Chains A and B, each alone.
Chain A
Amino acid sequence: MARILLFLIAAAFIVPGAFAGEIKKVDNFSLDDVHGKKHSLTDHKDAKAIVLMFIATQCPVSNAYNERMAALERDYASKDIVFIGINSNKQESVEEIKEHAEKNGFRFPILKDHKNIVADKLEASVTPEIYVLNGSLDVLYHGRIDDSQREPKVSSKDLRTALEEILAGKPVSTATTKSFGCTIKRVD
């Protein structure tokens, strides 16, 4: 029992830190979207923010956020914030992604990361997983969209908060968050 108490006392003084090796800046990359159009991050150097969203067609967690992702893009596109979806899952085809995007009313482009090159560069591992960059490609926010797959249970709208802070010219107060999600299925 004394051992447990000592452990609990010690644990009370441990503050969970950010990810070890958290990416601070992203190198430019170019990928084709599902319609064959090439997109580069440097196309958006004048944007107030670039929101990269690693998403999936088959992951139930990612799918739970379909409406919220579409709404985010609708709410912020007119405020100079660019949304880009990235699909790095090996088993999800371009045709499937195109159909999924149409069905869910995604207006943002979805890039197919065939060889996980971008997922590897950013060390993305889960869907949905968000990176918010500035025009210089510095990472301003990395993590979840919000804190619950079930929208009525959301108490912390982390991505919206980060975007509002960026628009207000403030530093992002919580730059890293985590949540559960589906593993990105990489090529072997």
Chain B
Amino acid sequence: MFSFAYRMRAFCGLMALVVGAPSFSPAQAATGRSPEVRPLDERGLQELLTIRKGRALVLNVWAIWCLPCVEEFPELVRLDSLYRSRGLDVVTVSIDFEDEVDEKVRPFLRRMRAAMPAYVNAFPTPSDLINALQAEWSGAIPATFFYDRTGTLVTYVVGKRSLEVFQEAADKALQRTPARR
């Protein structure tokens, strides 16, 4: 079903997660290199939520065909640059098809100078990802999920949102549990 290159990227991504070695470089976008987009499946999501190392998390679900998602994306890039040093990670999960990643998703991320980790949905069906993130979520995008430092969901918002809304929710996520000392 997946190409060899895609499976290799999935394997490398999984290995990086297992050993906990960050392979995303904030300089990646700035240097113009094509951003890496890893497949995200059930196991990858659980690892993302459990291996928090005391950092809160913002997870945005988007697609290249979704105009409000594309419009709000710069706000996520700003959120990432403002909050990365404050103990919060921002990651994005594209629900575009795997064969659209190289042609559409990666060029978009490069244009956005997006330095945060980027994933593409690799759950077997859309409802698997929807239910894994939040059973009450309808699947409407964009949708942005805020987790505290333990990986517990604090809140989520559906629809295009401003940086101020993201900051308010991010602050809540950071305040929910104290930073690890």
Contacts and interface: CB of A to CB of B under 8 A. Distances in A.
Interface of A: 3-4, 7-8, 11, 16-17, 19-21, 58, 60-61, 125-126, 129, 144, 147, 150, 156, 177-184
Interface in B55-69: 63, 65-68
Contacts of A129: 138
A186 to B, nearest CB: 9
12 contacts: A4-B47, A7-B46, A7-B50, A16-B132, A60-B65, A126-B139, A144-B126, A178-B138, A180-B130, A180-B139, A180-B140, A182-B141
Contacts, number: 72
A22 to B, nearest CB: 10
Interface residues of B, number: 28
Interface of B: 42-43, 46-47, 50-51, 63, 65-68, 95, 97, 125-127, 130-132, 135-136, 138-142, 158-159
Given A21-B136, A61-B65, A126-B140, 17 more contacts: A8-B46, A16-B127, A16-B132, A17-B135, A19-B135, A58-B67, A60-B65, A125-B158, A150-B97, A156-B125, A178-B126, A178-B127, A178-B138, A180-B95, A180-B140, A181-B138, A183-B142
A125 B47 CA distance: 30
A19 B136 contact: yes
